[in-house]
Structure 1
């Protein structure tokens, strides 16, 4: 393909609307993504039917796109009879992760049933290799990670994600709620484990790992809560970071992901529009340097693929991933997009050469260069292939390159050169020069990306799949101009493909606004009696004394049809408001105390509520924001996870009426100190309903414990 004229900003024409999988699938869950050497992007989904009414599972379906917005189904990784040799007949293959490792593509996936074990769900991690992103895929003869017994059951050995560190060591992250998240080192070919695995996140909170390295930190992003509860799915993505790929990972507030009160900084949460249950993601960087997230979500008005309570319909979504104050967050915290007009990724540059044709019409100095099987090759000598179009301003340039021998290859940018050799990555600008080692060299395809911002040049070498595992990084302040000519430089044999220059993305640095309390409208400080509260099933054990409401946690619940728990209710102010309480509940740590909890509730009826409480979930202590509602002649319940609790936790429900449809939106927040707040997801109630605000303390009477509420306050939202 010849050079594209026009400004680099024209590389992102038009707009897009979620879900981006709509053109080929109604559901495409757990998406993975790579960019192929052919310049196309490839996405891989979990094994489900693609369309409503189809009724037949696709075994790891594959889609292709040139722009990350319009996708086309191109086939399945495996046919009906192409299970791994260690998989039981009828096994499902879930949650693929695909990487380009040393000249071939490696696909990791979950295998639901493994031979040699009597248990139905003895999960393992499998792998297959292929010469191209679409195959043909060849199964390995044994699992990469075998089933891990736990008593009479097996740990959730699921949801693999591969990562290659800067020293060339390869790792595999895996695991799920039952058993936690783990990391193991891999052999150089990525197909066998090395040494002992390390646990990196507590069980019963996370699944769907994904790890990236940025600015010296390793970021572990993982999904939390339930993936598949239809209209009450509260899935979301949380993050922690560490200075080692083995952790320990902590969140923005320093809370460990391995603690009983496990941390996790929100990356994406449902925001009150059509999308709920947003999670299990992959990440990528476009040609401008902007990061993006591919993930699945559920349309709350169409949550199932066919009949109710069957397969959850989880189409693929695409949204911008920002880095604010050192932490990743989707659309600066605004959450998933659902309207037309979103700016798409930059997938074409002002210079954009894929070498699909026979000529080099957009280049100068073509002698000795030849287009060969979709890429350009230099066989010997020292030469520069110069683009007829120059570069200027702040921009990002990149190329895929390969060194068949002992030469060098790279980019010339103004007065600087950036080259890769067997010795490493070298940036030269005038008399300034810096070299770092490149583990493994560039005997197979690598991606070289160079960012120019003012006089600062930053070069990175990653795998050709462009998934952001930097193998070598150099940052240099240049004494010479970095504008002017642009070209490919080689000494000796070298291959180049997918050359681009695009205007550098301007990072979003300000978070999206979250609700803030303004004027105090009403409060109960519990200094006299229970005031204007109304009871549903009054509990005479609740009492006000010493300025607090002391309420023994009941052996009762609201979830389901039993409806035995008590609720204290009051009518909130009209309009937008924030309800806040401070609750002390000593649940200890690690011991199983299911499901003792206390907190706030937005309540319409016993079968229609949103409950925000600190709660014991097996060995963990979490702040769960659960929703129950009637759906298709049943009750549906699911939860969204907010921030980690403390012994004393502050809770908020921010109420907003959507002027477009009259829906009541309630966004949840929690705090461990009453000052720093973590905002979670949004649950909605239809127009015409009048949710009241209440308190609850239930879930289990043993061991006996009191919930102590210091106050309930209502603020006007600023």
Structure 2
């Protein structure tokens, strides 16, 4: 009875004419013509970290950021920021989420609010965020997850009065990192909140129906010392957990980057493309985004957003290696917001097909419609004909909308492309359909039936009728705006219904089409059983996916082959701080680990170095190093090193980092008298590893660029981040080991080789 009354009330609201006769409005600008230039936040801020994005029902794209000063000094410390854009090119800064006067009462007067995650839940906007300390759990860094709600993406924001996820004591007087929330409304009907960080790992908890409180016991989904800043999307029957690794904020040596794992369940276990679990001590993770040697380093803490053509984009922060700090207050990294295309290749997400962050103009996300449609006011001109009138959203933030009456049908005046993507925010009281490639009975129809609670795709080609249906979850309500997308491309139709259109799914249905079914014809909107409201309507050519990765370094002829088959390394090698414990014999270099290091001011570690050839080359070594698993053996390691001097170097090694074993590619430099160290984290590792460093010269500046790679079998390589060294230096290359003598461990190098790069 309640459901029936709800539908009747919705039908009455939708049937209201909105009192607005059709008024002529200018159509959207040509889609796909806008261009972005990183950083996209540069027009209104100097730093804009931990970005989150949502398209509001008003048609604007809203961009949120963590609590930070907005500009170089003088600048007030803002408690999370809001900006908006129509096209990701021109931005308008709107202000902060909270002010000092309206801090949530359950947090302290000194609390910071970090890492906002924005979603549309049950007809309102919900922002999840990190609280750094709470009144109920006194003590330093007793992190919790809070939430605030608002009727519009711009606010005003009302805190929910308590934590979504409370602080989690460690039992020894400290707290686990209950930080960096990310919501997923999954097609199984449940809402999940992912949270956590390096100290304690990433976790997921189910939320109650309101989406504002955790219920049940959380599930750990990554090992404790590797990931933070999670974001999860549902795609092709998989749940993809993407997250950042390494130090976010090490200034000019920040190696932050993004990785992925996937699972058939929102609760995991999540594994990478080689099947290595993100829960393993020898931790897995498929690289999504890493620095590539241009100005941008420390690329991470991201959101994934889909444009109206169906192309995904990754929105993230980064650091300009030549301008790493805000001038004041001191110690704050300058982390503006960037955006780049996100491709799906062989079932895995990767930024720009593996090219990494861009520093040149790039095509902007497609946000406008073709066919003369005004997406934010779709009934304001004559781009659609038939049963179609203009109205106003009287209960939400949709603004001008289009109304299709019960039993009505409207169609675009112009034909849509053969490969097309149609998207709209819809309110449905009965059944609402989108028809593409329709001619008579033939064509493709996607139907949202609010009464039957189904999403159905039907293809009709003569007597051949094929159909598939997915149920809608209990949280779905036709009286709330929901994003419906219909994409026809390469002989396949995919329909998705989603609350926030951020990788979430109320339901998704895909259907292979018979030959010839996809045609260039008008798009048809139709209703039965009740009226429907339509907003943010776009009809554009479907994006063309990138399906091949950019080329990765390959080895050519061998230039140097040190097989350690004598009593000492061959010609060309030089020891720095030699240790008598290091020996050569039986075709290997045996290097017992000692409590020495070359990072920091001590510079006590031995090094075996040689001068590499000019030009481009690849260095490679085979290393056997058993660091065990799970136990804390900080920071035993061995691998390759590139050295200008003891305070200007790069280091690639197999390293024990707390309970994990990881490939670390780090950089040390002297920044105005202060030694800085930061690293990119890769892997996974094994007892026997192959390591590579590929060297190139920047053709314009002569700067040295070094890219890391690792392998567990010598055949399958994972290429990682790129560090740089100045053009006026002559770095050497070689081997190192150290980090701790307990437990007693020996690194064994089978050989060291230098190859031509091709």
TM-score by length of structure 2 reads: 0.91
Choose from 318, 331, 335 the match for 2:352: 331
Q: State the alpha-carbon separation in 2 of the partners of residues 141 and 284 from structure 1.
A: 29
Choose from 77, 83, 91 the match for 1:71: 91
**In the alignment, which residue of structure 1 is the partner of 2:719?**
679
1:288-299 → structure 2 map (5 Å cutoff): 288-299=309-320
Choose from 456, 477, 482 the match for 1:426: 456
3-state SS in 1 of match to 2:612: coil
Q: State the alpha-carbon separation in 2 of the partners of residues 514 and 359 from structure 1.
A: 50
**In the alignment, which residue of structure 2 is the partner of 1:15?**
35
Choose from 409, 412, 437 the match for 1:414: 437
1:251-400 → structure 2 map (5 Å cutoff): 251-307=272-328, 310-340=331-361, 342-351=362-371, 352-356=373-377, 359-366=380-387, 370=391, 374-378=399-403, 380-400=405-425
In the alignment, structure 1 residue 531 sits paired with structure 2 residue 570: yes
Contact 2:617/2:757 (<8 A) preserved: yes
3-state SS in 2 of match to 1:81: helix
Q: State the alpha-carbon separation in 2 of the partners of residues 625 and 654 from structure 1.
A: 12
Q: State the alpha-carbon separation in 1 of the partners of residues 435 and 379 from structure 2.
A: 23
Q: 1:369 to 1:62 in 2, by over 3 A?
A: closer
**In the alignment, which residue of structure 2 is the partner of 1:585?**
625
Choose from 71, 90, 101 the match for 2:110: 90
Q: State the alpha-carbon separation in 1 of the partners of residues 587 and 467 from structure 2.
A: 68
Q: Show CA shifts across 1:340-387 (max 9, x none).
A: 3x1211111213333548744222114666455634354753001222
Contact 1:4/1:350 (<8 A) preserved: no
Contact 2:369/2:375 (<8 A) preserved: no
3-state SS in 1 of match to 2:89: coil
Q: State the alpha-carbon separation in 2 of the partners of residues 378 and 104 from structure 1.
A: 22
Q: State the alpha-carbon separation in 2 of the partners of residues 74 and 482 from structure 1.
A: 43
TM-score by length of structure 1 reads: 0.96
Q: State the alpha-carbon separation in 2 of the partners of residues 326 and 92 from structure 1.
A: 38
Q: Show CA shifts across 1:414-442 (max 9, x none).
A: 32322211221122332333322111242
Contact 1:42/1:65 (<8 A) preserved: yes
Choose from 657, 662, 669 the match for 1:629: 669
The offset of 1:485, in angstroms, is 1.9
Q: Which runs of 5+ in 1 are unaligned?
A: none
Contact 1:100/1:106 (<8 A) preserved: yes
In the alignment, structure 1 residue 471 sits paired with structure 2 residue 506: yes
**In the alignment, which residue of structure 2 is the partner of 1:513?**
551
3-state SS in 1 of match to 2:69: coil
Give the RMSD, CA atoms, in angstroms.
1.7
3-state SS in 2 of match to 1:117: coil
Q: State the alpha-carbon separation in 1 of the partners of residues 341 and 726 from structure 2.
A: 29
Contact 2:407/2:531 (<8 A) preserved: no
Q: State the alpha-carbon separation in 1 of the partners of residues 260 and 388 from structure 2.
A: 51
Choose from 428, 433, 448 the match for 2:484: 448
**In the alignment, which residue of structure 2 is the partner of 1:207?**
228
The offset of 1:487, in angstroms, is 2.8
Contact 1:667/1:682 (<8 A) preserved: yes
Q: State the alpha-carbon separation in 1 of the partners of residues 541 and 379 from structure 2.
A: 28
The offset of 1:69, in angstroms, is 2.5
Choose from 596, 601, 604 the match for 1:556: 596
Q: 1:488 to 1:688 in 2, by over 3 A?
A: same
Q: State the alpha-carbon separation in 2 of the partners of residues 380 and 655 from structure 1.
A: 65
The offset of 1:643, in angstroms, is 1.7
Q: State the alpha-carbon separation in 2 of the partners of residues 617 and 556 from structure 1.
A: 16
Q: Show CA shifts across 1:603-635 (max 9, x none).
A: 111100000000000111001001000102211
Q: State the alpha-carbon separation in 1 of the partners of residues 206 and 472 from structure 2.
A: 19
Q: Show CA shifts across 1:457-503 (max 9, x none).
A: 2211111x321212211222445554312132122121110111111
Q: State the alpha-carbon separation in 2 of the partners of residues 392 and 379 from structure 1.
A: 23
**In the alignment, which residue of structure 2 is the partner of 1:487?**
524
**In the alignment, which residue of structure 1 is the partner of 2:15?**
none
3-state SS in 1 of match to 2:422: strand
The offset of 1:87, in angstroms, is 0.5
Q: State the alpha-carbon separation in 1 of the partners of residues 325 and 678 from structure 2.
A: 15
Q: State the alpha-carbon separation in 1 of the partners of residues 241 and 287 from structure 2.
A: 12
3-state SS in 2 of match to 1:628: strand
Q: State the alpha-carbon separation in 1 of the partners of residues 634 and 330 from structure 2.
A: 25
Contact 1:210/1:220 (<8 A) preserved: yes
Greater alpha carbon shift after TM alignment, 413-422 vs 321-330: 413-422
Contact 2:36/2:88 (<8 A) preserved: no
Q: State the alpha-carbon separation in 2 of the partners of residues 240 and 481 from structure 1.
A: 34
Q: Which runs of 5+ in 2 are unaligned?
A: 1-22, 439-443
The offset of 1:574, in angstroms, is 1.2
Q: Show CA shifts across 1:136-188 (max 9, x none).
A: 11101110000000111000000000001102200000000000000000111
Q: 1:254 to 1:96 in 2, by over 3 A?
A: same
Contact 1:308/1:632 (<8 A) preserved: no
In the alignment, structure 1 residue 116 sits paired with structure 2 residue 155: no
3-state SS in 2 of match to 1:171: strand
Contact 1:643/1:679 (<8 A) preserved: no
Contact 2:378/2:537 (<8 A) preserved: no
Greater alpha carbon shift after TM alignment, 564-573 vs 292-301: 564-573
The offset of 1:523, in angstroms, is 1.4
Q: State the alpha-carbon separation in 2 of the partners of residues 460 and 168 from structure 1.
A: 14
In the alignment, structure 1 residue 501 sits paired with structure 2 residue 539: yes
The offset of 1:413, in angstroms, is 1.7
Q: State the alpha-carbon separation in 2 of the partners of residues 129 and 348 from structure 1.
A: 28
Q: 1:163 to 1:419 in 2, by over 3 A?
A: same
Q: Show CA shifts across 1:642-682 (max 9, x none).
A: 22111111110100011111100000001111111111101
Choose from 127, 136, 147 the match for 1:107: 127
Q: 1:716 to 1:493 in 2, by over 3 A?
A: same
Greater alpha carbon shift after TM alignment, 262-271 vs 529-538: 529-538
Q: State the alpha-carbon separation in 2 of the partners of residues 387 and 54 from structure 1.
A: 52
- What is the aligned residue count? 712
**In the alignment, which residue of structure 1 is the partner of 2:706?**
666
Q: Show CA shifts across 1:243-291 (max 9, x none).
A: 1011011111111100000001110000000000000000111111110
The offset of 1:5, in angstroms, is 6.7
Q: State the alpha-carbon separation in 1 of the partners of residues 393 and 321 from structure 2.
A: 50
Q: State the alpha-carbon separation in 2 of the partners of residues 591 and 371 from structure 1.
A: 62
Q: Show CA shifts across 1:196-230 (max 9, x none).
A: 10000001111000100111111110000000000
Choose from 495, 499, 518 the match for 1:459: 495
Q: State the alpha-carbon separation in 1 of the partners of residues 458 and 477 from structure 2.
A: 19
**In the alignment, which residue of structure 2 is the partner of 1:701?**
741
3-state SS in 1 of match to 2:363: coil
**In the alignment, which residue of structure 1 is the partner of 2:656?**
616
